[in-house]
Structure 1
Amino acid sequence: MIRKKKEFPLLEKVTITDIAAEGKAIAKVNDLVIFVPYVVPGDIVDLQVKRKKNTYVEAEAVKFHQYSSIRAVPFCQHYGICGGCKWQVLPYSEQLTYKQKQITDNLKRIGKIELPDISPILGSEQTEFYRNKLEFTFSNKRWLTNEEIKQNTVYEQMNAVGFHIPNAFDKVLAIEKCWLQNDVSNRIRNAIRDYAYQNNYTFYNIRQQEGMLRNLIIRTSTIGELMVILICSIKTEYEQELYNRLLQYIADLFPEITSLLYVVNNKCNDTITDLEVHTFKGRNHIYEEMETLQFKIGAKSFYQTNSKQAYHLYKIVRNFAKLTGDELVYDLYTGTGTIANFIACRSRQV
């Protein structure tokens, strides 16, 4: 016997009132708390309930009756599909206002913490192309958008390089342009994709553990250095030859690459922390600078993904510490050691 699918109600002309975590907004109907993605406070919408929990429900906006006066137009063609940058519909200044309110409310109302005066959030001066690292995935299972499905077309090209779709680990949305990293990242990714299409390279199938191209990591620095890491599954000499040809193509097409690295990953998972990183061209690292300091960043290094904002953050940490030069400072949780090195000049020892 086929179990009848449970039907959830449609809530009409609901006003969105607040911002929640994880890119969702909040509405209330008769004291029922509703979490909704891709809407902003002031929107008036019809909501289709998707999931019911004990104390709240999750819903999707299926019709807009009125757009909020603070609503912005998304700038990315992949908005609402890839799962990232969920607040493109909310101006950055408004995002900061709501985030500050959320932090204060959580500490006071939920944490029951008495707070001193809180300084305003220090916003990022750059809100596009600000990340210094992005990781892309190759897959032979391209995610089809609702518009593509409605066309009822048989697509010959189902290989894609881009980002995983939320809740679909084996499918990848083909990314044409991402606004998170320097545009050279888009040019490199798209060039590799086109070369792979033209030369019939296989894209990885995570379920069947088959295919050659797996992942692409691109790192940049504020001083213009560029690292590209191509991760592939290589099981034959012929695949190794194809790998070398692709690496040489990238090196020739993008001479600005400082470090062209590659990793052979024949494991089931995508992590490379336990794998050897090989250098095809240039150094096995790039450099980042902060004041008089120079940091060496390798393929596996952790570094704050917004370099310029990290610099502002570290300056605040240094000022808050009010170091006199006599202190012994312990760095108990560190990555590349940026904070420890940054404050070393103001302390006796770190």
Structure 2
Amino acid sequence: MRVIEKYEKVEITDFAAEGKCIYKSAEGVIFVEGNVAPGDIVDLEVVGKKKKFKEAVVRKIHTHSSLRTQPYCAHHDTCGGCRWQHIDYSHQLRFKRQQVVDHFERIGKLNGVLVSDIIPANDTRFYRNKLEFTFSSNRWLTREEISSGKDFHRNALGFHVPKRFDKIFTVETCHLQPDPSNEIRNGMYQYINEKGYRNYDIRKNEGILRNLIIRTANTGDIMVIAQFGERDEEVIPDVMEYLKNAFPVISSLHYIVNTKGNDSYQDQEVVLYAGEPVIRETMEDLTFLVGPKSFYQTNSEQAYTLFSVARDFAGLTGKELVYDLYTGTGTIANFVARQAAQVIGVEYVEAAVQDARKNSVLNGITNTEFFAGDMKNLLNGEFFKTHGKPDVIITDPPRAGMDLPVVETILNAAPKRIVYVSCNSSTQARDIALMSQAYEVTRVQPVDMFPNTHHVENVALLERRKV
């Protein structure tokens, strides 16, 4: 990494986007990577230079900020999963709310919108219900290990080093997912090392042990999916038998043979090895089936908070026709169905729509319909003529937000209210700006789904302006 210039004993000024911080120098803004906090006095090395800003890394911290707290994880300097654990939680919440305000004002030009205080998470550790761990034959070595000149064991099972697709560091204890996640991962790591099985090398696309996915539901159900890089008829059954016998708590055990160059498995066959094909999550008196390929919010407790806010914003009286866009497996659609006359869910992925229908049947919900297809093509005049135009639209798009044709489709539907649920308030603000002539933002509620990270979920209520 080439050093362009250095700054000594300067004060970090503020938080920035994507978990970075800022130092405002006389020459302009410098974005700082690393475990720093506003108020830290540091030495910086500039490693990147753009037209309007510079990028730097911290080489030494002279004085620590009062915003800091003691990190609890041994991997906090290496892992990007809990990048803000050195920041006191109250200050994390303050910045996340300010991030929403900034996005609405700077990107959406939505001045004067009142953003409520963020709803904090009750649990700031062990809150995730899903984690993916990667096997590697090329473990990340620390500077101390490299400088020692010794020959170290290179197998790893853990997380990617940020910005390094081919480097994995072994996790001892992860504070993101509740037990028995750590026991299963550590047991698996010890077993494959004892057996001498080959870990996967992503650069060469070879090796047997590739990926381990653990899902822990709030019902106590546990799903484990082992992903293999080769179809080895001896190793695969041996590893799966180990998992089955060593951890009888696993209620749904699967494996995948994936010989592609990446770990994505939505297009791969998932083989049920033992137990049930799905696990179950509950929300109020509803039960949701979660399969190996199903999407479900990774923080179950805060997902309930998020959906409760969305349902409250929808203002349902039992008479409304609701459209749930990007419905996925129908979690929101089924969650609000009993307060609506009818709910129509629309989703691009056919398999997700099938799961949504199953979840309605499972919960005895009869006033939902789900359709698979491209929204901008599906939601046309004929569709509205057949099913009716919505009184309320709930939309929960991916991080990239909604395409312009989808925004135009929503405007054409002209619902009384739009409830926009977002995991990226910058694209949310952009989309709302496109609807601002017809709709006014009346309520905004951030929800903290991912403590100790810069991510924030946000719900906005848009009400149709009076002509």
Which TM bucket (shorter chain)? Answer: over 0.9
* Alpha-carbon distance in 1 for matches of 2:316, 2:75: 46
Q: Does 1:22 align with 2:15?
A: no
Deviation at 1:29, TM superposition (A): 0.9
Deviation at 1:261, TM superposition (A): 0.6
| SS of equivalent to 2:12 | strand
Residue of structure 2 equivalent to 1:240? 233
Q: Deviations over 1:144-200 (max 9, x none)?
A: 012222222111x21111111222212211111111111311110111110000011
Contact 1:260–1:280 (8 Å) recurs in 2: yes
* Alpha-carbon distance in 1 for matches of 2:224, 2:338: 33
* Alpha-carbon distance in 2 for matches of 1:337, 1:291: 15
* Alpha-carbon distance in 2 for matches of 1:254, 1:150: 39
One of 170, 177, 187 as aligned partner of 1:181: 177
Contact 2:321–2:342 (8 Å) recurs in 1: yes
Residue 35 of structure 1 aligns with an amino acid whose one-letter code is F
Superposition pairs for residues 330-345 of structure 1, below 5 Å? 330-345=323-338
* Alpha-carbon distance in 2 for matches of 1:263, 1:13: 52
Deviation at 1:6, TM superposition (A): 5.8
Please report the TM-score for the alignment, with normalisation by the length of structure 1: 0.95
Residue of structure 2 equivalent to 1:288? 281
| SS of equivalent to 2:329 | coil
Query: Greater CA deviation, 60-69 or 192-201?
Result: 60-69
Deviation at 1:234, TM superposition (A): 2.9
Ranges of 4+ aligned residues in structure 1 off by more than 4 Å: none
Structure 2 spans left out of the alignment, 5+ residues: 344-467
* Alpha-carbon distance in 1 for matches of 2:138, 2:211: 14
Residue 217 of structure 2 aligns with an amino acid whose one-letter code is S
Superposition pairs for residues 23-102 of structure 1, below 5 Å? 23-37=19-33, 38-102=35-99
* Alpha-carbon distance in 2 for matches of 1:110, 1:219: 36
Residue 54 of structure 2 aligns with an amino acid whose one-letter code is V
Contact 2:206–2:230 (8 Å) recurs in 1: no
Structure 1 spans left out of the alignment, 5+ residues: none
* Alpha-carbon distance in 2 for matches of 1:219, 1:122: 25
Q: Does 1:167 align with 2:163?
A: yes
Deviation at 1:216, TM superposition (A): 0.6
| SS of equivalent to 1:196 | helix
Residue of structure 1 equivalent to 2:143? 146
Contact 1:72–1:91 (8 Å) recurs in 2: yes
Residue of structure 1 equivalent to 2:111? 114
* Alpha-carbon distance in 2 for matches of 1:212, 1:298: 24
Larger RCO, structure (CA 8 Å, separation 6 or more): 2
* Alpha-carbon distance in 2 for matches of 1:326, 1:201: 60
* Alpha-carbon distance in 1 for matches of 2:284, 2:122: 18
* Alpha-carbon distance in 1 for matches of 2:2, 2:27: 23
* Alpha-carbon distance in 1 for matches of 2:325, 2:207: 42
Q: Deviations over 1:65-104 (max 9, x none)?
A: 2111121111111112122211111011110101111221
Deviation at 1:31, TM superposition (A): 4.8
Residue 311 of structure 1 aligns with an amino acid whose one-letter code is Y
* Alpha-carbon distance in 2 for matches of 1:104, 1:163: 32
Please report the TM-score for the alignment, with normalisation by the length of structure 2: 0.71
Deviation at 1:7, TM superposition (A): 4.4
One of 205, 208, 229 as aligned partner of 2:204: 208
Aligned residues: 342
Alignment RMSD? 1.3
Change in CA separation of 1:6 and 1:149 when aligned onto 2, cut-off 3 Å: closer
Contact 2:199–2:208 (8 Å) recurs in 1: yes
Residue of structure 2 equivalent to 1:256? 249
* Alpha-carbon distance in 2 for matches of 1:143, 1:126: 30
Q: Deviations over 1:95-144 (max 9, x none)?
A: 01011112212221343212332211111111101001111111101010
Query: Greater CA deviation, 271-280 or 291-300?
Result: 271-280
Contact 2:2–2:47 (8 Å) recurs in 1: no
Query: Greater CA deviation, 14-23 or 307-316?
Result: 14-23
| SS of equivalent to 1:325 | coil
Deviation at 1:62, TM superposition (A): 1.2
* Alpha-carbon distance in 1 for matches of 2:311, 2:103: 26
One of 300, 309, 330 as aligned partner of 1:307: 300
Contact 2:200–2:209 (8 Å) recurs in 1: yes
Query: Greater CA deviation, 107-116 or 330-339?
Result: 107-116
Residue 42 of structure 2 aligns with an amino acid whose one-letter code is V
Deviation at 1:314, TM superposition (A): 0.6
* Alpha-carbon distance in 1 for matches of 2:143, 2:277: 42
